[in-house]
Amino acid sequence: MITESPQQVIARTAAAIAPPNEDAAARAAERQERLTKPPGSLGRLESLATYIAGLTGSDRPRLARRLLVVAAGDHGVAAHDVSAYPQSVTAQMAANFAGGGAAVSVLADHAGARVRIVDAGVAGDTVDAPGLLRLRLGAGTDDITRGPAMSRELAARTIAEGIALFEAEHDAAGGGGVDIVGCGEMGIGNSTAAATIVAAVTGRPPRSVTGRGTGIDDDRFEAKIGAVERALEVNRPDATDGVALLAAIGGFEIGVLAGVYLAAAAARVPAVVDGLISGAAALVATAVEPAVQPYLVASHRSVEPGHSATLEQLALEPLFDLGMRLGEGTGAAIGITLCVAACRLLDEMATFDEAGVDGSDTVVMPE
């Protein structure tokens, strides 16, 4: 729980965000040139590690402490038949996450990341389980086709709770801090809210940024597009004010993740973005404070059309494209794995001098 006012939490976090450290990135790039490989032969793994060096301020970053935040929340817009699944699934899937039975559970374990599940605002009751934080900011949002998702005051609190969550994880004596964080989500109706955010921020037509989410049929797809259009018309969201944007058309899980992005940037911790909904949270975070943007690492490109628009708006190049659209943080977990691999190469590979290998000025290295 936060002790400052939500507005104070957001303001001091935003003020603490510094630009990436160019000196650390330059030192990392120089080391890359001395490693036992032809320059550039590891492709984007080299530039990724160099970039992370600039974010962390360390020329040999070690991403040993990995966290994946999976925030769950329901949406009033689900009443308009925009999903193939009932709202009861959100609480059930939160229990599945906690029990280790979900796709993200498997991939997080593979990445060596601890998982923090957050009941940000699930309509049904969630189980008490290790690793599950019950914020319970509401029993789902209000219907955005009829008015705002939540009040501005509640939106600010939602973001502040996300900041507090990350700070607690980063400062935890037992947990040992956070070197990299990934963000995922769960919530029936949240791809509709996310598409509305994307349309509001990018100015693109709702039909061009709205996808089929859970695999809905044509009738539900048309209903979903109609819901996005009505939400924009009814609320007329201000895309330049992150708190107002969240209040008008967002979700509790989206706000919590936006807070995580803000706090991670303030702590110089790379934040790996998952798919459409996590991307919408990144749009909210950058509307609150644009300085967040450099600390965002796009894991993958979702097949959801709004996600490509989001990546373009945020000027992010995804690390991979596997045709994924599950959410949960599955792409972020794989993204963490790639970030760790890139940084281990930078840190643990020998230089030509260390290995006693002639450099490229004396011998041609094989490709």
Q: Is residue 265 part of a domain?
A: yes
pLDDT value for 359: 78
For residues 182 and 250, membership in a common domain is answered with yes
Q: Is 197 exposed, middle or buried (0-12, 13-18, 19+ CB in 10 A)?
A: buried
Give dist(CA 142, CA 284) in Å, integer. 18
Asked if residue 367 has pLDDT above 60, the reply is no
Q: What is the pLDDT of residues 231-284, one digit of tens each?
A: 999 999 999 999 999 999 999 999 999 999 999 999 999 999 999 999 999 999
Q: Distances in Å between the alpha carbon of 224 and those of 189, 196, 215?
A: 9, 10, 12
Provide, rounded to the nearest whole percent, the portion of the chain with pLDDT above 90: 92
Q: Is residue 298 part of a domain?
A: yes
For residues 161 and 281, membership in a common domain is answered with yes
Q: What is the pLDDT of residues 6-57, one digit of tens each?
A: 999 999 999 999 999 999 999 999 999 999 999 999 999 999 999 999 999 9
For residues 86 and 159, membership in a common domain is answered with yes
Structurally, the chain folds into a number of domains equal to 2
pLDDT value for 363: 44
Can you name the residues that pair with 183 across neighbouring β-strands? 69, 273
For residues 98 and 168, membership in a common domain is answered with yes
Q: Is residue 168 part of a domain?
A: yes
Is position 161 annotated as part of the catalytic site?
no
For residues 49 and 178, membership in a common domain is answered with no
Q: Is residue 238 part of a domain?
A: yes
For residues 29 and 81, membership in a common domain is answered with no
pLDDT value for 364: 47
pLDDT grade for 187, boundaries at 50, 70 and 90: very high
Asked if residue 125 has pLDDT above 60, the reply is yes
pLDDT grade for 3, boundaries at 50, 70 and 90: confident
CATH number, position 166: 3.40.50.10210
Residue entry with tokens 């997080």: 108
For residues 320 and 199, membership in a common domain is answered with yes
Mean pLDDT in residue range 106-112: 98
Q: Which domain holds residue 174?
A: 66-346
Pairing status of strand 66-73 against strand 296-298: unpaired
For residues 112 and 23, membership in a common domain is answered with no
For residues 31 and 95, membership in a common domain is answered with no
Q: Could you tell me the pTM of the whole model?
A: 0.96
pLDDT value for 361: 62
Q: Is residue 367 part of a domain?
A: no
For residues 80 and 23, membership in a common domain is answered with no
Q: Which of 167, 169, 185, 328 is catalytic?
A: 328
pLDDT value for 172: 81
Mean pLDDT in residue range 139-155: 98
CATH number, position 28: 1.10.1610.10
Those residues whose C-beta lies under 8 Å from the C-beta of residue 301, and which sit 6 or more positions away, are 307, 308, 311, 318, 320, 321
For residues 126 and 37, membership in a common domain is answered with no
For residues 105 and 192, membership in a common domain is answered with yes
Q: Is residue 365 part of a domain?
A: no
Q: Is residue 236 part of a domain?
A: yes
Give dist(CA 139, CA 252) in Å, integer. 10
pLDDT value for 248: 98
Q: Is residue 364 part of a domain?
A: no
CA angle at residue 128 from 116 to 155, to 5 degrees?
Answer: 60
pLDDT grade for 360, boundaries at 50, 70 and 90: low
Start-end of H helices in 21-146: 22-34, 44-56, 88-99, 103-111
